[in-house]
Amino acid sequence: MRIEMLVFDGVDEMDVMGPFEVWSHASKRTALALALVGLDGPVEVTGLNTLQFKAPEGLGTPDALFVPGGGWMNRAEKGSWAEARRGVMTARIAELAPTLSWIGSVCTGSMLLAEAGLVKGRAATTNRGAWAELETFGAELKSNRVVDDGTLVTSGGITSGIDLALHIVEREYGVDVADGIAATMEYTRDRDVYVGS
């Protein structure tokens, strides 16, 4: 399985780095492949808190796509809100979604999925500050830390992306692998996960 993590200027750094750490460990123990990607090709990103890092590839044809958030609730000039207003990213997400095993998000990355038309009638969550807004897109809001609705997997604010990433590892490769990674990271898992029927 190849997971691509879509990054952009204004992204919340922890939204990216937490899951990246989990899946980097998983890539050493399983067949999982991982890449940070920019929408239009390789990109140097400046995060919400000014951390600069590179995505060495552009968005391709992954098995799964993960979308972080940042800059939504304060309507920042760079971040998920700005990307939604631009419309290019959400159109590409909508186009790619039917080909994916799953699409996931942390924090207000869920709002980009909402703008792409992917949450209507689906169980989902986001940062609690955007819960009401997510519901306006027709999502069946869940207050759980991680919400697994099959091909749509969303998580709450910031650090919950770590739990989403561990949940995905458990779903794909088993609980022993996921728990082993959590132990390596000295991280206590939060198993507040809603799994749809």
Separation between Cα atoms, residue 146 and residue 154, nearest integer Å: 6
107 is catalytic: yes
From the candidates 16, 32, 107, 112, give the one annotated as an active-site residue.
Answer: 107
The secondary structure of residue 9, as a DSSP letter, is T
Give 58-94 as a DSSP string: E----SEEEE---STTTT-SSSHHHHHHH-HHHHHHH
Taking a C-beta distance cutoff of 8 angstroms, is the pair 87, 24 a contact?
no
57 φ/ψ angles, rounded to the nearest 5 degrees:
-135, 165
| Residue positions annotated with a catalytic role | 107
